[in-house]
Structure formats: structure tokens, C-alpha cells
Amino acid sequence: MDTVKSMAVLFDFDGVVVDTETQYSRFWHQMGKKYLGIDDIEGRVKGQTLVYIYDTFFPGMMKEQAEITECLNRFEQEMSFDFIPGVLDFITDLHRHHVKIAVVTSSNEAKMEAVYRVHPEIKTLFDRILTAEMFAASKPAPDCFLLGMEVFGATPDTTYVFEDSFNGLKAGMASEATVIGLATTNSREDIAPLCHYVLDDFTGFTYDKLTQLHK
């Protein structure tokens, strides 16, 4: 089998492709304090879909959910979406080697539309962009990454997952892919037990270095 043709590289988006996790942490911290009177919700919602967040932390609170959604939509229109250092060079190198790559994100399509307005080139950087609407179970379930493998005809042995959140890393490991943790949101020490390798960012990282990694 031609492993390059069947190889898939799956990127989470926030904290992996763009540096947004700190901004989201501030937002959810404010929502948690305002609506629930708790000050640690931000760490518990990282890597989760909005549906999961509402079902888990705001069940039955339809009025509050609507208010939060409105606030979130406004917030995302004003966010900055700075690329993680080295990620664009790494993506270019993957394309040079004809590797199939996808964004696999818990964000919904409405959020991604806000991203496209700032970075329209995002759509051309990836072969597929898989959003929250496309899979039933939220991370840490592996559904999203299994879907990524399916669309590219890849297997866990030929798939690499890049994640930063605890739930995302758990989902990657559950998919049985090779999982590389990005220490952009959490410390190297905290994410190391949840992945096979840890990177600070993508600076100097290449296709050749990737293919030397094994579970």
C-alpha cells in the first residue's frame, strides 16, 4: 500500500492551527460566573461542542442558552485568529508530499464562517474541514477523528492527530491514531500522559520529522 496516499493528518483548530484558546477561556469564565456562579467552567469546556456545553452545564436553561449564543456570536466576530507558529510552513510541507489534511473541530460552521472572513485562505489550506455538525458524539469520544480517517480512506496506523485540549487528546488516543499534543493551551507536563509526543508549536516541524514518529 502507498502509505503517503492513505496517510491522513488531522488538526484540531483552536489552539492547534490558530491561537484562540486564551480568548475562549476568558469568554467562558465570564459566562460561568454570570449564569452559574462558578469560576472554573473554562477548563471543563475546552474541546467541546456548544451542544455538549449546553446539555452538560446549562440543561433546560433555554433563555440563558440563547443569551450566551448571542454573546458568543458577537465575541467570535471580534476575535483575532493568529496562526500558531510554524503551522503554515508545516501544512505547506505536507501538501508538497501529497498528504491529505483536515481540520477536525468541535466548533460549528457559524464560528468557522467568522474565521473565513478573517482568513479566507483557510478553506484552501485543508482538503476537508469537519465541524461539530458532522459527528454525533463530542470529544473525548473519537467519532470526529474516525470520520476524518473515513473521508480519506486512512487507518489509525496511517493517521496523525494534532490536539491541545485534554478532551481532544483523549479523543485522539481513543481513535488509536498517533497523537501529537501541542503545549499551546496546557503545559507539556499536563498533556504528556495523554499523547504520544509533545510539541511547543510547529516551528521547524516537517513531514520528515512527522513520519519518524510512531506510537
Question: What is the tens place of the pLDDT at every residue in 27-39?
Answer: 999 999 999 999 8
Q: What's the pLDDT band for 79 if we cut at 50, 70, 90?
A: confident
Model pLDDT, residue 206: 98
Residue 187 three-state SS:
coil
Tell me what the mean pLDDT of segment 38-43 comes to.
90
User: Residue 100 and residue 152: Cα distance in Å, rounded?
Assistant: 7
Q: What's the pLDDT band for 76 if we cut at 50, 70, 90?
A: confident
Model pLDDT, residue 89: 98
Does the predicted TM-score (pTM) go above 0.95?
A: no
| pLDDT tens digits along 97-138 | 999 999 999 888 988 998 999 999 999 999 999 999 998 888
Q: What's the pLDDT band for 3 if we cut at 50, 70, 90?
A: very low
CA dihedral 47, 53, 55, 58 (to 10 degrees): 160
Query: Is the pLDDT at 154 greater than 80, yes or no?
Result: yes
Query: Is the pLDDT at 5 greater than 70, yes or no?
Result: no
Mean pLDDT, the chain, integer: 93
Tell me what the mean pLDDT of segment 184-188 comes to.
92
Tell me what the mean pLDDT of segment 62-90 comes to.
94
Model pLDDT, residue 111: 87
The residues near 97 (Cβ < 8 Å, ≥ 6 apart) are 4, 207
Residue 37 three-state SS:
coil
User: Residue 3 and residue 183: Cα distance in Å, rounded?
Assistant: 28
Tell me what the mean pLDDT of segment 72-79 comes to.
88
